[in-house]
Amino acid sequence: MSQKIQVRYDNKIVAFFVLASIFWAGAAFLAGVLAALQLAYWPFNFELEWLTFSRIRPLHTNAAIFAFAGNAIFAGMYHSTQRLLKTRLFSDALSWIHFWGWQLIILSAAITLPLGFSQSKEYAELEWPIDIAITLIWVVFALNFFGTIVKRKEKHIYVAIWFYIATIVTVAVLHIVNSLEIPVGFLQSYPIFGGVQDALVQWWYGHNAVAFFLTTPFLGLMYYYIPKAVNRPVYSYRLSIVHFWSLVFIYIWAGPHHLLYTSLPDWAQTLGMIFSLMLWAPSWGGMINGLLTLRGAWHLLRTDPIVKFLVTAVTFYGMSTFEGPLLSIKSVSLLAHYSDWIIAHVHGGALGWNGFLSFGMFYYIIPKIWKTKMYSTRLMNYHFWIGLSGILIYYISMWASGITQGLMWRAIDDSGYLVYPDFVETVMQIAPLYWVRAVGGILYLTGYVLAVYNIVKTIKSANALEADETVEVNATVDLSVDKSEGFHRRLEGMVTIFSVLVFLSIAVGSILEIVPTLSIHKYVPQSDEVLPYTALEQAGRDVFVTEGCYVCHSQQIQKHVSDVLRYGPASTIGESIYDHPFQWGSKRTGPDLARVGRKYPDLWHFRHMMNPRSMVEKSIMPSYPWLLDKKVDFYSLRKKLSVLKMVGVPYTDEQVAQADRWAEAQADEVAASLAKEGVEGEIKGTKLVALIAYLQALGKKSKDDEKAKAHLELVPGGGGEQ
């Protein structure tokens, strides 16, 4: 018999992460409910820039993913890892740097996003100083985690740990590659990738944020908390092996399914679709293992609220991972993409899978580490049923909305015309469903409030947190390779090799998809080449990004008849070649803008931005009156254009050096056209003028366009020649 020693599990860090997650969940849910109400009834935007939908929505997604789910993951990982490896976390110092660092990152996100500091890349909106902080804290986390593995008192690592390793390795790769950007100021930067490259990298990141931040860590948690909660063995070890490796290998390829029918090359779209289909079974492997672990313990589903939460979470995981491959089929995507069906899909995952798994886990952990019982089982049950009703109402209303609007967008009648050519008509049709959705969100929030009350009561009635939990474990563990073990069993004892294999598994798909695309701009046909934005247009583009217009407006006309009839010729690769960042968008709450340039007069845009209802009576778009009060910093355009030149936009030295005067000359032109139409006041230097210049340039940057060419001539000193 080997000697025993005592180790102390760190429960305090777990408690802090649990409470942080619960705290930020409130922020995420409140922002979500506000956003839902804003879509139902536009006056809820309050004409305040930092409360406007286009800034609240990134706040909502970031809070839900990185603050609520992020802290929940860290809580569960630190709680389960110590127990699965029979050792205390590697370093208390690293644990606390991780905790406070992460909270500071969230706090800085909560401040900068409403203020409009954003890169506009979904779930990667945070600006470069915060990107660097995330990288550093992630490294701290990784050191702490792998350090814990090194000092483990258990030879083999359990399947939960496999998923944690995949999470840590892959999120690091995703975050670093997608955050390659060059600063132009303290809180602004341009990504080094542009156009189609940026789109591909972003959705490789975006989809795998779902995969490796919202799926693999939660599968790991599932593998610990379900067997613990029901006290039954995991259903199938070999299924764990097969679905783990296939999931990790296949998931990374699926990103391009966010870009079907766009100007992304066909081969990449095909890969995105077929790998998404192949992902169905590996995903369901996790669900099967989770659900069948309950064999012999199904009665707990009636009596134990924790089991209700966990099992329902896994069920939603099964639904989402069936729906995901379905939505990736090109023809289904054509109906669903840009519509609320996608919103339904992600909320099934976020509220059902991530949310319920987190709450089930909290209800498991809290009484354990505070050495007490939950204050009220009845409140847990209420939370479950109210929350579940909320999810279902949300899901079903957004299905109905998405499918309705998708069908309306695409309806073409016998005489070859769009049945609903007026975009706002399709919005009016689904507006009532936005109220229904808000009800769903409010119910989910209500369940959360009950949880908070229940948890506060529980903690108050407990004696104290058991900050350090002492257990007896073997003093030493023999890590030498045992030849009698099977291949994978041996691998489970060799964590370095295991981690390298994980890295290689995700590297294959990443490299094969992204690398060929990096040279794609060389092959754009000359006829597709466009002129770069003028300095003023670029300034307007920054306004577009800051305000978050991409949240509701795409700039990508799909290669499909209905899109072409509605918006004009399909978008080409060449047209977005100088777009750093790309603005293809992912949702059309309003119409596509890829060819909105010169479709309406300047005055139309002026009035529309001040009050959209003045031009489109039924519009649900927020007003942006502050754009008339805010000034463009013309001087900063020199720096901005020089950075863009560095990443490949063909500006001349003259254009960069004279960027401010160039922009002012064009601003004079726009202001004069508006003054002629009766707009009063000194508007030349306003952000609104810059934004109008940008909107009027969309789809109008062809090399043969006289007006676009004339705008290049506005550079003082005649720097117009390319």
Partner 1 sequence: MEDDKNLMLDHEYDGIQELDNNLPNWWLWTFFGAIIFAFLYWIHYDVSQSGPTLDQELAQGIARVEQHRKNAQSSGGGEEVSEEEMLAAGQTVFRNYCAACHGQKGEGGVGPNLTDGYWIYEKGAPDTIKGLVTKGILDKGMPAWESMLKPNEIDAVVKYVSSIRNTNEKGKEPQGNKVDE
Nearer to partner 1, 114 or 406 (CB): 406
- Strand spans (E) along 385-487: 468-474
Tokens of residue 602, six digits? 């300047």
Interface map 172-211 toward partner 1 (x if CB under 8 A): ----------------------------------------
> What is the identity of the amino acid at 492?
E
Nearer to partner 1, 78 or 634 (CB): 78
Closest distance of CB 572 from partner 1, Å: 10
Window 549-608: residues binding partner 1 (CB under 8 A): 559-561, 564-566, 568, 570, 598-604, 607
In the list 10, 122, 131, 154, the residue contacting partner 1 (rule: CB under 8 A) is: 154
Closest distance of CB 70 from partner 1, Å: 24
- Does the footprint of partner 1 cover residue 240 (CB under 8 A)? yes
In the list 206, 217, 227, 532, the residue contacting partner 1 (rule: CB under 8 A) is: 227
Window 678-717: residues binding partner 1 (CB under 8 A): 707
The helix (H) or strand (E) run that includes residue 181 is strand 181-185
Closest distance of CB 18 from partner 1, Å: 19
Closest distance of CB 591 from partner 1, Å: 12
Helix axes 356-369, 12-40, angle to 10 degrees: 150
Closest distance of CB 223 from partner 1, Å: 8
- Does the footprint of partner 1 cover residue 270 (CB under 8 A)? yes
Nearer to partner 1, 242 or 514 (CB): 242
In the list 23, 50, 146, 235, the residue contacting partner 1 (rule: CB under 8 A) is: 235
- Does the footprint of partner 1 cover residue 245 (CB under 8 A)? no
How many CB atoms are located within 10 Å of the residue 431 CB? 14
In the list 2, 104, 132, 233, the residue contacting partner 1 (rule: CB under 8 A) is: 233
Window 605-664: residues binding partner 1 (CB under 8 A): 607, 615-617
- Does the footprint of partner 1 cover residue 516 (CB under 8 A)? no
Rounded Cα distance, 621 and 599, in Å? 19
Window 27-86: residues binding partner 1 (CB under 8 A): 80, 83-84, 86
- Does the footprint of partner 1 cover residue 409 (CB under 8 A)? no
Closest distance of CB 603 from partner 1, Å: 5
Rounded Cα distance, 218 and 577, in Å? 38
Nearer to partner 1, 51 or 242 (CB): 242
Output DSSP code: residue 533: P
Closest distance of CB 193 from partner 1, Å: 23
**CB-based contact 608:616 (threshold 8 Å):** yes
Nearest to 197 by CA among 256, 252, 282: 256
Nearer to partner 1, 253 or 394 (CB): 253
Q: What is the DSSP string of 11-40?
A: -HHHHHHHHHHHHHHHHHHHHHHHHHHHHH
Rounded Cα distance, 195 and 82, in Å? 45
Nearer to partner 1, 51 or 473 (CB): 473
Window 372-401: residues binding partner 1 (CB under 8 A): none
Tokens of residue 459, six digits? 């903690």
Window 309-368: residues binding partner 1 (CB under 8 A): 325
Tokens of residue 690, six digits? 């810059």
Tokens of residue 233, six digits? 């063995």
Nearer to partner 1, 80 or 538 (CB): 80
- Does the footprint of partner 1 cover residue 275 (CB under 8 A)? yes
In the list 139, 182, 277, 326, the residue contacting partner 1 (rule: CB under 8 A) is: 277
- Does the footprint of partner 1 cover residue 274 (CB under 8 A)? yes
Closest distance of CB 84 from partner 1, Å: 5
Rounded Cα distance, 242 and 250, in Å? 12
Number of residues that bind partner 1 (CB under 8 A): 71
Nearer to partner 1, 414 or 704 (CB): 414
- Does the footprint of partner 1 cover residue 155 (CB under 8 A)? no
Nearer to partner 1, 24 or 567 (CB): 567
In the list 41, 280, 382, 435, the residue contacting partner 1 (rule: CB under 8 A) is: 280
**CB-based contact 122:203 (threshold 8 Å):** no
Q: What is the dihedral sign for C-alpha 517, 522, 526, 532?
A: positive
Nearer to partner 1, 382 or 600 (CB): 600
Q: Which long-range contacts (CB under 8 A, 24 or more apart) does 229-234 make?
A: 229/300, 229/304, 229/306, 229/307, 229/310, 229/360, 229/364, 230/293, 230/294, 230/297, 230/300, 230/307, 231/297, 232/293, 232/294, 232/295, 232/296, 232/297, 233/293, 234/159, 234/289, 234/293
Nearer to partner 1, 278 or 436 (CB): 278
- Does the footprint of partner 1 cover residue 418 (CB under 8 A)? yes
Rounded Cα distance, 279 and 294, in Å? 24
**CB-based contact 599:698 (threshold 8 Å):** no
Rounded Cα distance, 121 and 130, in Å? 14
- Does the footprint of partner 1 cover residue 237 (CB under 8 A)? yes
Considering only the stretches 162-170, 284-292, 400-408, 648-656, report the one whose residues sit in contact with partner 1 under the rule CB under 8 A.
284-292
Please state the three-class secondary structure of 615-650 as a single string: CCCCCCCCCCHHHHCCECCCCHHHHHHHHHHHCCCC
Please state the three-class secondary structure of 678-712 as a single string: CCCCCCCCEHHHHHHHHHHHCCCCECCCHHHHHHH
- Cα–chain center distance at 497: 31
Nearer to partner 1, 149 or 234 (CB): 234
Rounded Cα distance, 354 and 213, in Å? 10
Closest distance of CB 103 from partner 1, Å: 28
Place of tokens 């090109």: 330
Closest distance of CB 422 from partner 1, Å: 6
- Does the footprint of partner 1 cover residue 417 (CB under 8 A)? yes
Interface map 95-134 toward partner 1 (x if CB under 8 A): ----------------------------------------
Q: 88-125 b/e with 16+ CB inside 10 Å = b?
A: bbbeeebbbbbbebbbebbebbbebbbebbbbbbbbbb
- Does the footprint of partner 1 cover residue 497 (CB under 8 A)? no
Angle at CA of residue 711, ends 708 and 715, nearest 5°: 145
- Does the footprint of partner 1 cover residue 135 (CB under 8 A)? no
- Does the footprint of partner 1 cover residue 267 (CB under 8 A)? yes
Closest distance of CB 692 from partner 1, Å: 11
- Does the footprint of partner 1 cover residue 158 (CB under 8 A)? yes
| Cβ-Cβ contacts under 8 Å for 112 (sequence gap 6 or more) | 118, 126, 127, 130, 187
In the list 4, 100, 104, 266, the residue contacting partner 1 (rule: CB under 8 A) is: 266
